[in-house]
Amino acid sequence: MSQAAPNRKIAFDDLVACASCDWLHYRMTIEKGSRASCARCGHELYTRKPFSVDRTLAASLAGIVFLILSLCLPFLSLSRSGVSSSISVLDAVTALWASDMRWLGLLSLALIALLPTVRLVLLAYVMTRLRYRLGIIPSMFSAMRWAERLEPWAMAEIFMVGVVVSLVKISDLATLSVGPAFWALLGLIITTSLISIFFCKDSVWQLLTTRSA
Strand extents, DSSP E, 21-170: 24-26, 35-37, 44-47, 76-80, 83-87
* Sign, CA torsion 38/43/49/54: negative
Dihedral over Cα of 200, 143, 10, 212: its sign: positive
pLDDT at 123: 94
Residue 83 has pLDDT above 70, yes or no: no
What pLDDT score was predicted for residue 63? Answer: 92
Q: What is the CA radius of gyration of the chain?
A: 22
- Give the integer Cα–Cα distance in Å for 22 and 47: 17
> How many C-alpha atoms does 8 have within 13 Å on its Cβ side?
10
Mean pLDDT throughout 161-167? 65
pLDDT digits (tens, 9 = 90+) for 113-149: 888 889 999 999 999 999 998 888 999 999 999 998 8
The single-letter code of the amino acid at 15 is: L
**pLDDT grade for 9, boundaries at 50, 70 and 90:** low
Per-residue confidence (pLDDT) for residue 127, from 0 to 100: 95
Q: Tell me, what's the pLDDT at 190?
A: 87
List CB contacts of 17: < 8 A, sequence separation 6 or more.
23, 24, 25
Check if the beta carbon of residue 44 is closer than 8 Å to that of residue 31. no
pLDDT for the residue 129: 93
